[in-house]
Chain A
C-alpha cells in the first residue's frame, strides 16, 4: 500500500464506467457507421453489349438518336434508369462511327440535337455542343462523353459496350 498511484474507489468506478461505456459505444457505433454508408460502398459495374439501332438506318453526317433502359436493383426495389445518346456516321465504314452519350457533362441533364442550331443543346443551362460533342457554349467543363467500344453484329445492328457506374 505504499504505491504513490493509489486509485480511489470513486476514481476506479469512473474509469471502469468510461472504459465499458467506450467499448459499448465502439461495438455499436462503428457498425452503425458502416450500416449508414453501406450503399455507397456497393460496386455496380455490370457490363453488357447493347444494341442501339440498325447500321443501315444511320445516315452519314446526321446524328442518330437512340435510348435504352437498364433495370437495377436498388435496395428493395427495381429502378429503371434511362440512358441515351447519338450515333454519328462519318463514312461508310462501320468503324468510322462516333457514339456520344447525351448526358450533359455539366450537371447530367439530357442534351437534344437541334437541327436548326447544328448543335446539341442542354435544356437545363443552355449548354451547346457541336455535332462531334465539343463544347461550343455554356458551362460544361468538357466535351460529351463517348461510348468507346461499338461493334456491328451479323444482323446489321450496332451494339455499344455499356458498363454500369
Chain B
C-alpha cells in the first residue's frame, strides 16, 4: 500500500533521484571539516524557525521592543529557550560560516571548477554578517542601541558617500523608530531572501561538482 503510494509519487517527483543526489552521492575521502557547510545550513534553518517563532511576540517599535523581549524571556513558556537558541545560534553561525570559509581556503577547494561556489560563499558570509548586524539592534537595549550607533557611524566614514550611507542605514540622520523598523525588515525579509537564493545556487553547485579532494603532495 505505502509502496504503491511511494511509487506513484516517485514517478512524478523523482524522489529516488533526489535522495541519491542529495544524500547518497559519491564523496571523496572526507573529514569532519567537510561537515561545516551542512552545519551552517542546519543553523540557518534553526535560526529561521526560532526567528519565525520570535515574531509571534516581538514587536519592532521603540515603545515596546524592549518590553516584548522581556516578555518573551520571562512571560511566555519556553520563550527563554526559543530566544536562547536564536541568540547563541547567531553567534555560532557566524563562527561556523567563517571556519567553513577557512577550510575551503586551506584545502584550495575554491579552484576550478568551483570559483563561483567560492564567490557565492563570500556572499553567504556577508549576508550572515548582515543578519548578525541587523539582529543585534532588535532587543533595543543599551548595548543594541550603542552598537548600532557605532556600527552605522563607521559606515558613515566611507569617503564621498559616507553621509548618504549613514542616512540610508538609519533612515535619517539619527537612530530612531525608522532605524529599528528597517533593521527588522532587513533582518526578517530582505537579507534572508538574498541568503536563501544564494544558498540555493551554492547547494546546486556543490551537488553538480561534488566535494573536492583534499590536495596531495603532487598537487
State whether these chains interact: yes
Binding site for B on A (CB under 8 A): 28, 31-32, 34-36, 38-39, 41, 75-77
A-B contact count (CB 8 A): 41
Q: Which residues of the other chain, A, contact B68 by a CB distance below 8 angstroms?
A: 75-76
How close is B208's CB to chain A, nearest CB, in angstroms?
24
Is the CB–CB distance between B64 and A76 below 8 Å? yes
Is the CB–CB distance between A34 and B67 below 8 Å? no
Binding site for A on B (CB under 8 A): 46, 49, 53, 56-57, 59, 64, 67-68, 70-71, 75-79, 81-82, 85
Is the CB–CB distance between B64 and A77 below 8 Å? yes
Main secondary structure of the interface of B (DSSP, over half): helix
Residue of A nearest to B76 (CB): A38
Is the CB–CB distance between A35 and B82 below 8 Å? yes
Q: Can you list the 3 inter-chain pairs with the closest CB atoms, starting with the nearest?
A: A76-B67, A31-B78, A38-B77
Is the CB–CB distance between B78 and A76 below 8 Å? no
Is the CB–CB distance between B67 and A32 below 8 Å? no
Q: Which residues of the other chain, B, contact A31 by a CB distance below 8 angstroms?
A: 77-78, 81-82
Is the CB–CB distance between A36 and B81 below 8 Å? no
Pairs A–B under 8 Å by Cβ, sample size 7 = A32-B49, A34-B78, A35-B53, A35-B76, A75-B75, A76-B67, A76-B70
Residue of B nearest to A27 (CB): B81
Is the CB–CB distance between A28 and B71 below 8 Å? no
Is the CB–CB distance between B77 and A35 below 8 Å? yes
Q: Give A41 to B77 CA distance when docked, in angstroms.
A: 10
Q: Which residues of the other chain, B, contact A35 by a CB distance below 8 angstroms?
A: 53, 56, 76-79, 81-82
How close is A40's CB to chain B, nearest CB, in angstroms?
11
Q: Give A32 to B85 CA distance when docked, in angstroms.
A: 12
Is the CB–CB distance between A36 and B71 below 8 Å? no
Residue of B nearest to A17 (CB): B23
Q: Give A41 to B49 CA distance when docked, in angstroms.
A: 23
Question: Which of B53, B77, B82, B85 has the most chain A CB atoms inside 10 A of its CB?
Answer: B77
Q: Give A72 to B131 CA distance when docked, in angstroms.
A: 36
How close is A31's CB to chain B, nearest CB, in angstroms?
4
Q: Which residues of the other chain, B, contact A76 by a CB distance below 8 angstroms?
A: 59, 64, 67-68, 70-71, 75
Q: Which residues of the other chain, B, contact A38 by a CB distance below 8 angstroms?
A: 76-78
Contacts A35-B82, A39-B76, A77-B64 known; 18 new A-B pairs at CB < 8 A: A28-B85, A31-B81, A31-B82, A32-B78, A34-B78, A35-B53, A35-B78, A35-B79, A36-B56, A38-B77, A75-B68, A76-B59, A76-B64, A76-B68, A76-B70, A76-B71, A76-B75, A77-B67
